[in-house]
Amino acid sequence: MGCDGKIKAEQLSCWKEPVTVEPLTGGLTNTNFKVHYLEGDYVVRIGEDIPEHGVMRFNELNASVAAFKAGISPEIVHSEPGVLVMRFIEGKTLTAEDICENTTLERILPLLKQCHYEIPKYLKAGTLSFWVFQVNRNYAGTLKDTSSRHKSDLQKLMMINDQLEKAVGRVNMAFCHNDMLAANFMETPDKMWLIDWDYAGFNSPLFDLSNLATNNGLSHEQEIWLLESYFENDVSDKLWRSYSAMKCASLLRESMWSMVSEQYSRLDNNFEEYTTENLARFKCVYKEFMEIQEN
């Protein structure tokens, strides 16, 4: 969308005076631009619905507005089909190495609780869910209709998916971000921000917690701390088993997201390599989960 996106960002109806536009890097489901208008700076996110990934822009808008009202995400100042305009925040985008710092985790933990339990107070009707096991089933259904090199593995992966869903057991639902990449956290001197609500929806808090761990390489000790601090209790065998199953599901979802992206994405990314890397991580964590099941 390069040049077309830049022109679209320049010509939005919210600008009454000329603007300057520069592209922002990052983003696998949007094209992003920084816009200077009058005395302020803004971010323009351009992206259509992505049905194969369950990304619906009405849901992203709903979540983004509610996240601002909950105090954890920038203000949305304008929206139109396929476009969000938000205030620009001058801050540091985190890396996985940053998140592995204990002091950073301590700042992220209350942010997750705000996401899970404050945002629902401000959501409008029609919010989506993101039950990861159904997401994985949807991906399998999508891949069956393609020439994917992974089609022969789908039946086995879906049997594992069912096994993991059963092992997670009953959960308390919360409103989750569902994409705990380091790049979705921004830090300013007085605040931690959570951005990019493409995949937001009701889910188990265990998904965000395990997704944070798998995406950023948290240690076993940090995972224990995260669970103890979040639930304000010791980690029981039952909780650890449920969390471990969700961690497998998180990596399976990341793998299948990449499988589908191999078929549909027009971005210049090596999704085949990304799929291979995540499948290897999934198999490793699933082996650990099976050892837990046997004990």
CA distances from 246 to 39, 135, 198, 280 (A): 46, 13, 20, 17
Query: What does the pLDDT look like over 26-64, one tens digit per residue?
Result: 666 778 999 999 989 999 999 999 999 999 999 999 999
| Dist. CA 216–CA 182, nearest whole Å | 7
Q: Determine which helix (DSSP H) or strand (DSSP E) holds 116, and give its type and residue range.
A: helix 102-117
pTM of the prediction? Answer: 0.94
Q: Which residues of the chain have pLDDT under 70?
A: 1-3, 26-28
pLDDT of residue 30: 78
Picking from 71, 155, 64, 57, the residue whose alpha carbon sits closest to that of residue 113 is 71
Which amino acid makes up residue 245?
A: A
| Dist. CA 293–CA 121, nearest whole Å | 38
| Dist. CA 214–CA 50, nearest whole Å | 24
The encoded tokens of residue 266 equal 């027009």
pLDDT of residue 3: 62
> 10 Å Cβ neighbour count for 191?
13
All domains of the chain in start order, with CATH: 2-87 (3.30.200.20), 92-294 (3.90.1200.10)
| Dist. CA 83–CA 45, nearest whole Å | 6
| Dist. CA 257–CA 234, nearest whole Å | 33
